[in-house]
Structure 1
Amino acid sequence: MGLLKFLFIAITVLWLIRMVARLLFPWAMRRMAEKVMGNAQRQYQYRNNPYNTNANGGNFQQPRQPEGEVRIDYMPPQNKPKRGAKSAGEFVEFEEIKSSAK
C-alpha cells in the first residue's frame, strides 16, 4: 500500500511540475527575448547617434575613423628579455656510455 501511495504522489507532483513548466517556460523565454532586443536596440541607437552625451550632461561629438583603420589607445610596456640559456654558460654535449660489468 505504501508503494502505491508513493507512486501516486510522485506521478502527481511530476505532472504538476510539467504543467507549470509548460505555462512558465514560454513566458520566461518571451521576457528574455524582449530584454535582449531592448539591449540591442539601445546599443544600436548609441552607436548611430553622432552626439553622445557624457557623464556631465554635455554633448560631444565622437570622431569617426575611416573604415579599416586601427587605433591603439594603450600599449603595455615591453618586458625585458629574460636571461636564460644564452647567458648561462657553455653547454657540452655528451653521450652516456653503459658499461657491462660482469
Structure 2
Amino acid sequence: MGLLKFLFIAITVLWLVRLVFRLVFPWAMRKMAQKVMGDAQQQHQHRNAPHRNAGQRQPDGKIRIDYVPPKNQTKGAKKAGEFVEFEEIKSSAE
C-alpha cells in the first residue's frame, strides 16, 4: 500500500510541476525578451542621440578630410644615401 501511495503522490507532484512549468516558462521568456529588447532600444537611442552628430553630417557627394600629412617630409630613398649598381657574375665551374 505504501508503494502505491508513493507512486500516486510522485505522479501528482510531477504532473503539477509540469503544469506550472508550462504556464510560467512562456511568461518568463516573454518578460526576458521584452527586457532585452528594451535594453537594445535604449542603447540604440543612446548611441544615435541627436546631440551627438548635430551639424557633422555631410551631404552625399562631399568629402571631408580629417588629416593632411605635412608636405616637408622627405622620402626614404633621399635619406638612405648612395646606391651602387652591380651585376651578378655567375661562375663557370657549375
Superposition TM-score tier, normalisation by shorter sequence: 0.5 to 0.7
Aligned counterpart, 1:36 = 36
Structure ID, larger Rg: 2
Are 2:23 and 1:20 aligned? Answer: no
Higher RCO structure (Cα 8 Å, ≥6 apart): 1
CA apart distance, 1:51: 2.1
Report deviation, 1:50.
3.6
Inter-partner Cα distance in structure 2 for 1:51 and 1:38: 21
Unaligned runs of 5+ in 2: 57-94
Q: What CA RMSD, in Å, does the superposition of the two structures yield over aligned residues? A: 2.0
Q: Higher helix fraction: Structure 1 or Structure 2? A: 2
One-letter amino acid matched to 1:36: V
Runs (5+) with no aligned partner, structure 1 = 53-60, 65-102
User: How far is 1:36 from its partner?
Assistant: 0.0
SS in 2 for 1:49: coil
The one-letter code matched in structure 2 to 1:14 is: L
Which stretches of structure 1, 4 residues or longer, exceed 2 Å deviation after superposition? Answer: none
Aligned to 2:3: 3
How many matched pairs? Answer: 55
TM-score, with structure 2 as normaliser: 0.54
**Code of the aligned partner of 1:42:** Q
What is the identity, as a one-letter code, of the residue corresponding to 2:31? R
Question: Which residue pairs with 1:100 in the alignment?
Answer: none
1:40-69 deviation per Cα after TM superposition (whole angstroms, max 9, x unaligned): 0000000000426xxxxxxxx79x8xxxxx
Identity %: 71
